[in-house]
Amino acid sequence: ISLNPTIIVIFGGTGDLNLRKLAPALYNLYAEGYMPEKFAIIGTARRPLTDVKFRETLMEGVNSFSRTGKVHKEKWDNFSQNVHYNPIDVKDSASFDTLKDTLDKFKNEFGPDTQIVYYLAVSPDLFPSIAKRLAKFKLAENEDNCRIVVEKPFGKDLETARELNEILRERFKEKQIYRIDHYLGKETVQNIMAFRFANSFLEPLWNRNYIDHVQISVTEQLGVGDRGGYYDGSGALRDMIQNHLLQLLCIIGMETPINFDADEIRDKKVDVLKAMRPFSAEDIRFNTVRGQYTKGWIRGDEVPGYRSEKDVDKQSNTETFAAIKFFVDNWRWKGIPFYVRTGKRLSQTSSLITIQFKDVPHQVFPASVAEHWQQNRLIISIQPEMSIRLQVQGKRPGLDMTLNPVDMVFDYKGTYTTESPEAYETLLLDVMTGDQTQFMRADQVEIAWELLMPVINAWESKKSLSFPNYAADSWGPEDAEALIARDGFHWFTLP
């Protein structure tokens, strides 16, 4: 790819996200030849730091967190020559004058085609200050060459998301705004699009006539760790379902796009959100389950309950688990449940999408096959295993007709020798090439909030009397099993 010279300004340059994700991603892009020939990475934060010290800090981050392990000395030295540090207090306008001088210096050196990416890797309450000052100091005026990347969370509810969208859209064109949902950058998530739309055999089956139900399950073994302060004001609905899980649901549920144009794809995803059945009070009672973990044991270690985690309210009403039954009311999906669950301190860390097909219309085999009978399932494993499995019935070798379910497996490890890039590598490259396909448009974010607001409001206004209601190393509260078992199904997990 031939890219124009690029300046990447990272607000929050000394922060966790930069050290863990952005710096390793940029270094790996460089090491694999994907960075523009001329580029500058300018880290910014409040404290004074020399370029040399900043480069050392980033190198530690890359060495600890990069998928490719420790840096290659020569490549790192060449890469880090392009890394600089510029102290900025984003609440102080004078800082933006000095940023302007730095940008002008690089623009003069790089030429008129230079593009600038502003990456907002700071706490969300600073997003407005930065956006306003970038506009005030005319630092992002060129709508073709200046882009702004906004991290999650995008708002805390519908109202704050709208406010943030307004602040951004009054100052920048939508085509300049890149709202990150890093799930969309994952290799296996992008592959769902390839699987659905580059193969002809699936489409005739991909609807209410042949599909029984869909499950989307994103479970984590970890607790909140050091993020208690943030998480306690957020919870599983806001932190995971409003963004990542609903986006996965959109990719499974969307109509076939006409082409791979960013807005065409985002239009099709928005259509799914628009078709989702709004929650009545009754739906909230019967189709949603919330949970909070209590202390327990994970791999021989005792782990604290949520209310005893650092920076968490001792009486917290925040959910660390949520399970919801959604419906998409359109011709393709009417009546087909989409069960979605996510939670912390569960038995497994895994992201799985399971599509269960309807049973055969008539059983031709002897009654004895019922013992191992299993309806066909398509299982898309996003992480940690990266695979797609089709569970089919097969004949077990032998003289009698015994059937058992077998898996036809496409597994990344066995199929490809190249390692998959990290989501942030893919997404940062997309920002540099100006491809918004995998980023959230203003309307996507707002409709997703709008859909969930009744649930958020109900859960916040009525304290759960059963919290904490699931043990660490379990599959969440019993009600979550009941939610799906009532319809005759079970949550699927990989062994």
90 binds ligand NAD (CB under 6 A): yes
Residue 56 is assigned to a ligand binding site: no
Please identify which residue in 25, 49, 103, 122 interacts with ligand NAD, judged by CB under 6 A.
122
Q: Are strands 337-343 and 321-327 parallel, antiparallel or unpaired?
A: antiparallel
| Residue bearing tokens 């190198």 | 59
Q: Name the phi and psi angles at 297, rounded to 5.
A: -120, 135
Q: Whole-number minimum distance, CB 124 to ligand NAD, in Å?
A: 5
Q: Whole-number minimum distance, CB 88 to ligand NAD, in Å?
A: 5
The most distant pair of C-alpha atoms in the chain lies apart, rounded to whole Å, by: 84
Q: How far apart are CA 283 and CA 326, in angstroms?
A: 9
Q: Whole-number minimum distance, CB 240 to ligand NAD, in Å?
A: 12
Please identify which residue in 42, 88, 103, 379 interacts with ligand NAD, judged by CB under 6 A.
88
Residue 239 is assigned to a ligand binding site: yes
Q: How far apart are CA 223 and CA 237, in angstroms?
A: 15
Binding mask 324-353 for ligand NAD (x = CB under 6 A): ------------------------------
Using DSSP's 3-state secondary structure scheme, residue 310 falls into: coil
Residue by residue, DSSP assigns 223-272 as: --GGGHHHHTTT-HIIIIIIIIIHHHHHHHHPPPPSSS-HHHHHHHHHHH
91 binds ligand NAD (CB under 6 A): yes
Stretch that binds ligand NAD, among 147-155, 166-174, 244-252, 257-265 (CB under 6 A): 147-155
Amino acid 178 reads: Y
Residue 90 is assigned to a ligand binding site: yes
233 binds ligand NAD (CB under 6 A): no
440 binds ligand NAD (CB under 6 A): no
**Of 459, 218, 240, 455, nearest to 341 (Cα)?**
218
Stretch that binds ligand NAD, among 60-68, 122-130, 247-255, 347-355 (CB under 6 A): 122-130
* Interface of this chain with ligand NAD, residues 152 to 191, rule: CB under 6 A: 152-153
Q: What is the sign of the dihedral through the CA atoms of 134, 140, 143 and 146?
A: negative
423 binds ligand NAD (CB under 6 A): no
Please identify which residue in 51, 65, 124, 263 interacts with ligand NAD, judged by CB under 6 A.
124
Q: Whole-number minimum distance, CB 97 to ligand NAD, in Å?
A: 15
Residues 6+ apart with CB under 8 A from 341: 215, 216, 217, 218, 219, 321, 322, 323, 324, 476, 480, 491
Catalytic residue among 72, 84, 244, 490: 244
Q: Whole-number minimum distance, CB 245 to ligand NAD, in Å?
A: 15
Please identify which residue in 151, 283, 422, 430 interacts with ligand NAD, judged by CB under 6 A.
151
Q: Which is nearer to ligand NAD, 31 or 45 (CB)?
A: 45
CA 375 → CA 156, 203, 253, 261, 391, distances in Å?
40, 19, 20, 36, 8
Q: Whole-number minimum distance, CB 125 to ligand NAD, in Å?
A: 9
46 binds ligand NAD (CB under 6 A): yes
Q: Which residue is nearest to ligand NAD (CB)?
A: 15
Distance of CA 155 to the CA centre of its chain: 15
Size of the site for ligand NAD (CB under 6 A): 22
Q: What is the sign of the dihedral through the CA atoms of 386, 254, 159 and 127?
A: positive
45 binds ligand NAD (CB under 6 A): yes
89 binds ligand NAD (CB under 6 A): yes
Q: Check: CB of residue 423 under 8 Å from CB of residue 186.
A: yes
**Of 58, 65, 54, nearest to 21 (Cα)?**
65
310 binds ligand NAD (CB under 6 A): no
Q: Whole-number minimum distance, CB 465 to ligand NAD, in Å?
A: 31
Residues 6+ apart with CB under 8 A from 92: none
Q: Check: CB of residue 321 under 8 Å from CB of residue 480.
A: yes
Q: Whole-number minimum distance, CB 222 to ligand NAD, in Å?
A: 12
* Interface of this chain with ligand NAD, residues 102 to 121, rule: CB under 6 A: 121
Q: Check: CB of residue 352 under 8 Å from CB of residue 366.
A: no
Q: What is the sign of the dihedral through the CA atoms of 389, 395, 397 and 402?
A: positive
Residue 152 is assigned to a ligand binding site: yes
Q: Which is nearer to ligand NAD, 14 or 376 (CB)?
A: 14
What is the layout of strands, in order, in the sheet containing 377-383? 288-291, 321-327, 337-343, 211-219, 350-357, 377-383, 387-395, 403-411
The verdict on whether 362 is a catalytic residue reads no
Give strand pairing partners of 406.
392
Residue ranges for the known binding site for substrate are 182, 186, 220, 239, 344
Residue ranges for the known binding site for NADP(+) are 46, 89-90, 152
The residues carrying an active-site annotation are 244
- Residues forming the site for ligand NAD (CB under 6 A): 12-17, 20-21, 45-46, 88-91, 121-124, 126, 151-153
Residue ranges for the known binding site are 46, 89-90, 152, 182, 186, 220, 239, 344
